[in-house]
Amino acid sequence: DVVMTQTPPSLSVAIGQSVSISCKSSQSLVYSDGKTYLHWLLQSPGRSPKRLIYQVSNLGSGVPDRFSGTGSQKDFTLKISRVEAEDLGVYYCAQTTHFPRTFGGGTKLELK
Amino acid sequence: QVQLKETGPGLVQPTQTLSITCTVSGFSLTSYYMQWVRQTPGKGLEWMGFIRSGGSTEYNSEFKSRLSISRDTSKNQVFLKMNSLKTEDTGVYYCAREDWFAYWGQGTLVTVSS
Protein backbone atom coordinates (compact mmCIF):
# COMPACT_ATOMS: atom_id res chain seq x y z
CA ASP A 1 0.00 0.00 0.00
CA VAL A 2 1.10 3.59 -0.62
CA VAL A 3 2.01 5.24 2.67
CA MET A 4 1.13 8.92 2.98
CA THR A 5 3.21 10.80 5.54
CA GLN A 6 2.04 14.22 6.67
CA THR A 7 4.07 16.75 8.62
CA PRO A 8 3.74 18.36 11.01
CA PRO A 9 1.15 16.38 12.97
CA SER A 10 -0.11 19.62 14.49
CA LEU A 11 0.22 23.35 13.96
CA SER A 12 -0.62 26.23 16.26
CA VAL A 13 -1.38 29.41 14.32
CA ALA A 14 -2.64 32.93 14.79
CA ILE A 15 -5.48 34.26 12.67
CA GLY A 16 -4.01 35.93 9.61
CA GLN A 17 -0.85 33.83 9.63
CA SER A 18 0.14 31.67 6.63
CA VAL A 19 0.98 27.98 7.04
CA SER A 20 2.15 25.03 4.97
CA ILE A 21 1.49 21.30 5.40
CA SER A 22 3.64 18.65 3.78
CA CYS A 23 2.51 15.30 2.41
CA LYS A 24 4.97 12.72 1.10
CA SER A 25 4.03 9.45 -0.56
CA SER A 26 6.01 6.21 -0.57
CA GLN A 27 5.48 5.86 -4.35
CA SER A 28 5.02 8.26 -7.22
CA LEU A 29 1.40 9.37 -7.55
CA VAL A 30 1.60 9.91 -11.32
CA TYR A 31 -0.97 7.66 -12.99
CA SER A 32 -0.57 6.04 -16.40
CA ASP A 33 -2.65 8.88 -17.92
CA GLY A 34 0.00 11.37 -16.81
CA LYS A 35 -2.19 12.93 -14.12
CA THR A 36 -1.45 13.02 -10.40
CA TYR A 37 -4.32 12.03 -8.14
CA LEU A 38 -3.37 13.70 -4.87
CA HIS A 39 -6.10 15.51 -2.97
CA TRP A 40 -6.48 17.55 0.21
CA LEU A 41 -9.37 17.33 2.67
CA LEU A 42 -10.36 19.30 5.77
CA GLN A 43 -12.30 17.78 8.62
CA SER A 44 -13.73 20.49 10.87
CA PRO A 45 -14.65 19.42 14.42
CA GLY A 46 -17.66 17.10 14.46
CA ARG A 47 -18.03 17.19 10.67
CA SER A 48 -17.41 14.91 7.72
CA PRO A 49 -14.27 15.53 5.67
CA LYS A 50 -14.62 18.19 2.99
CA ARG A 51 -12.55 18.22 -0.15
CA LEU A 52 -10.46 21.36 -0.61
CA ILE A 53 -8.14 20.55 -3.49
CA TYR A 54 -8.10 17.78 -6.09
CA GLN A 55 -5.35 16.62 -8.43
CA VAL A 56 -2.61 18.51 -6.58
CA SER A 57 -3.67 22.08 -7.30
CA ASN A 58 -7.32 22.38 -8.37
CA LEU A 59 -9.56 24.22 -5.92
CA GLY A 60 -12.83 22.48 -5.08
CA SER A 61 -16.10 24.26 -5.63
CA GLY A 62 -16.60 27.11 -3.17
CA VAL A 63 -13.13 26.78 -1.64
CA PRO A 64 -11.48 30.17 -1.05
CA ASP A 65 -8.33 30.97 -2.99
CA ARG A 66 -6.44 31.33 0.30
CA PHE A 67 -5.86 27.60 -0.19
CA SER A 68 -3.32 26.39 -2.72
CA GLY A 69 -1.68 23.09 -3.52
CA THR A 70 1.62 22.33 -5.18
CA GLY A 71 3.90 19.39 -5.72
CA SER A 72 4.72 16.46 -7.97
CA GLN A 73 5.66 12.79 -7.95
CA LYS A 74 5.97 12.01 -4.22
CA ASP A 75 6.17 15.43 -2.55
CA PHE A 76 3.20 17.74 -2.03
CA THR A 77 2.34 20.87 -0.07
CA LEU A 78 -0.86 22.56 1.00
CA LYS A 79 -0.54 26.25 1.77
CA ILE A 80 -3.09 28.36 3.59
CA SER A 81 -2.59 32.10 3.28
CA ARG A 82 -4.11 34.31 5.97
CA VAL A 83 -5.66 31.63 8.18
CA GLU A 84 -9.22 32.31 9.30
CA ALA A 85 -11.09 30.76 12.25
CA GLU A 86 -13.16 28.55 9.90
CA ASP A 87 -9.94 26.89 8.69
CA LEU A 88 -9.31 25.13 11.99
CA GLY A 89 -9.57 21.34 12.02
CA VAL A 90 -7.63 18.35 10.70
CA TYR A 91 -6.16 18.37 7.21
CA TYR A 92 -5.63 15.12 5.29
CA CYS A 93 -3.94 14.32 2.04
CA ALA A 94 -5.30 11.38 0.07
CA GLN A 95 -4.18 9.53 -3.05
CA THR A 96 -6.43 7.86 -5.62
CA THR A 97 -3.69 6.86 -8.07
CA HIS A 98 -3.13 3.42 -6.58
CA PHE A 99 -5.24 0.72 -4.94
CA PRO A 100 -6.07 0.78 -2.15
CA ARG A 101 -6.71 4.51 -1.85
CA THR A 102 -4.84 5.78 1.20
CA PHE A 103 -4.86 8.80 3.46
CA GLY A 104 -2.27 10.68 5.45
CA GLY A 105 -2.40 10.63 9.22
CA GLY A 106 -3.65 14.20 9.40
CA THR A 107 -2.37 17.62 10.48
CA LYS A 108 -4.35 19.34 13.22
CA LEU A 109 -4.54 23.11 12.81
CA GLU A 110 -5.26 24.89 16.09
CA LEU A 111 -5.46 28.49 17.23
CA LYS A 112 -2.46 29.93 19.03
CA GLN B 1 -28.35 19.27 -4.87
CA VAL B 2 -26.12 16.28 -4.15
CA GLN B 3 -26.88 14.58 -0.84
CA LEU B 4 -25.70 11.37 0.78
CA LYS B 5 -26.96 9.89 4.03
CA GLU B 6 -25.81 6.79 5.85
CA THR B 7 -28.11 4.72 8.04
CA GLY B 8 -26.61 2.15 10.35
CA PRO B 9 -27.40 0.05 13.44
CA GLY B 10 -25.33 2.01 15.96
CA LEU B 11 -24.35 -0.97 18.11
CA VAL B 12 -23.20 -4.34 16.79
CA GLN B 13 -21.98 -7.32 18.76
CA PRO B 14 -18.56 -8.86 18.06
CA THR B 15 -18.61 -11.60 15.39
CA GLN B 16 -21.88 -10.25 13.99
CA THR B 17 -22.51 -8.64 10.58
CA LEU B 18 -22.63 -4.90 9.98
CA SER B 19 -25.11 -3.53 7.45
CA ILE B 20 -25.17 0.14 6.44
CA THR B 21 -27.26 1.85 3.78
CA CYS B 22 -26.24 5.01 1.93
CA THR B 23 -29.17 6.83 0.33
CA VAL B 24 -28.25 9.40 -2.30
CA SER B 25 -30.07 12.16 -4.14
CA GLY B 26 -29.22 14.72 -6.77
CA PHE B 27 -27.40 12.30 -9.08
CA SER B 28 -27.61 8.81 -10.55
CA LEU B 29 -25.70 5.80 -9.22
CA THR B 30 -25.28 4.66 -12.83
CA SER B 31 -23.16 7.75 -13.52
CA TYR B 32 -20.80 7.76 -10.54
CA TYR B 33 -18.71 5.34 -8.52
CA MET B 34 -19.62 5.21 -4.83
CA GLN B 35 -17.12 4.39 -2.12
CA TRP B 36 -17.02 3.57 1.56
CA VAL B 37 -14.48 5.13 3.93
CA ARG B 38 -14.27 4.55 7.63
CA GLN B 39 -12.57 6.47 10.43
CA THR B 40 -11.40 4.53 13.45
CA PRO B 41 -9.44 5.63 16.52
CA GLY B 42 -6.74 3.10 15.73
CA LYS B 43 -6.16 3.66 12.01
CA GLY B 44 -7.70 7.00 11.10
CA LEU B 45 -9.27 7.26 7.63
CA GLU B 46 -9.37 3.97 5.72
CA TRP B 47 -10.69 3.42 2.23
CA MET B 48 -12.78 0.26 2.20
CA GLY B 49 -13.87 -0.11 -1.41
CA PHE B 50 -16.16 1.15 -4.12
CA ILE B 51 -18.84 0.11 -6.55
CA ARG B 52 -18.42 1.39 -10.08
CA SER B 53 -21.14 3.08 -12.09
CA GLY B 54 -21.48 -0.17 -14.04
CA GLY B 55 -21.92 -2.21 -10.86
CA SER B 56 -18.55 -3.94 -10.48
CA THR B 57 -16.68 -3.58 -7.21
CA GLU B 58 -13.14 -3.02 -5.92
CA TYR B 59 -12.16 -3.74 -2.34
CA ASN B 60 -9.29 -2.94 -0.04
CA SER B 61 -7.60 -6.29 0.57
CA GLU B 62 -7.57 -5.36 4.24
CA PHE B 63 -11.34 -6.06 4.24
CA LYS B 64 -11.80 -8.17 1.13
CA SER B 65 -12.61 -11.45 2.79
CA ARG B 66 -15.44 -10.02 4.90
CA LEU B 67 -16.71 -6.96 2.97
CA SER B 68 -19.44 -6.67 0.37
CA ILE B 69 -20.63 -3.52 -1.42
CA SER B 70 -23.80 -3.56 -3.51
CA ARG B 71 -26.51 -1.19 -4.66
CA ASP B 72 -30.14 -0.78 -5.71
CA THR B 73 -30.22 1.87 -8.41
CA SER B 74 -34.03 2.03 -8.39
CA LYS B 75 -33.92 3.13 -4.76
CA ASN B 76 -30.75 5.25 -5.08
CA GLN B 77 -29.11 3.20 -2.36
CA VAL B 78 -25.67 1.70 -1.83
CA PHE B 79 -25.07 -0.99 0.77
CA LEU B 80 -22.13 -2.03 2.88
CA LYS B 81 -22.07 -5.41 4.57
CA MET B 82 -19.14 -6.57 6.64
CA ASN B 83 -19.07 -9.76 8.68
CA SER B 84 -17.04 -11.09 11.60
CA LEU B 85 -16.93 -7.72 13.31
CA LYS B 86 -14.28 -7.02 15.97
CA THR B 87 -14.01 -4.25 18.54
CA GLU B 88 -11.37 -2.59 16.32
CA ASP B 89 -14.08 -2.02 13.69
CA THR B 90 -15.64 0.61 15.96
CA GLY B 91 -15.70 3.94 14.18
CA VAL B 92 -17.57 6.26 11.84
CA TYR B 93 -18.50 4.86 8.45
CA TYR B 94 -18.91 7.25 5.52
CA CYS B 95 -20.17 6.84 1.99
CA ALA B 96 -18.64 9.25 -0.49
CA ARG B 97 -18.98 9.87 -4.19
CA GLU B 98 -15.86 8.76 -6.02
CA ASP B 99 -15.03 11.94 -7.87
CA TRP B 100 -12.02 12.59 -5.72
CA PHE B 101 -13.98 12.83 -2.48
CA ALA B 102 -16.13 15.73 -3.65
CA TYR B 103 -19.20 14.64 -1.66
CA TRP B 104 -19.49 12.82 1.66
CA GLY B 105 -22.36 11.68 3.82
CA GLN B 106 -22.64 12.75 7.45
CA GLY B 107 -21.29 9.39 8.60
CA THR B 108 -22.79 6.80 10.92
CA LEU B 109 -21.15 5.77 14.17
CA VAL B 110 -20.79 2.04 14.64
CA THR B 111 -19.82 0.65 18.03
CA VAL B 112 -18.77 -2.99 18.21
CA SER B 113 -19.33 -4.20 21.74
CA SER B 114 -21.01 -6.95 23.66
What DSSP character marks residue A99?
Answer: S
Q: What is the pLDDT of residue B98?
A: 87
Restricting to B residues 46-85, those with a Cβ less than 8 Å away from any Cβ of A are 46-47, 58, 60-62
CB atoms within 10 A of CB A95: 25
Report residue B65's pLDDT band, with 50, 70 and 90 as the boundaries. Answer: confident
Q: Which residues of B touch A55 (CB under 8 A)?
A: 100
Q: What's the mean pLDDT in A41-51? A: 97
- Chain Cα centroid distance, residue B52: 13
Judge contact between A106 and B44, C-beta under 8 A: yes
How far apart (Å, rounded) are the C-alpha atoms in residues A66 and A56? 15
Closest residue by Cα to residue B17 from B70, B73, B83? B83
Q: Which residues of A touch B62 (CB under 8 A)?
A: 100
Closest residue by Cα to residue A100 from B57, B20, B66? B57
Q: What is the pLDDT of residue A15?
A: 95
From the list B45, B100, B107, which residue is nearest A51 (CB)?
B100
Question: Closest approach of chain A CAs to the CA of B33, in angstroms?
Answer: 13
A112 has a pLDDT exceeding 90: no
CB-CB under 8 Å, B62 with A48: no
Q: What is the pLDDT of residue A24?
A: 98
Over residues B26-37, the pLDDT tens digits come to 999 999 999 999
From the list A51, A60, A92, which residue is nearest B45 (CB)?
A92
From the list B45, B60, B102, which residue is nearest A51 (CB)?
B102
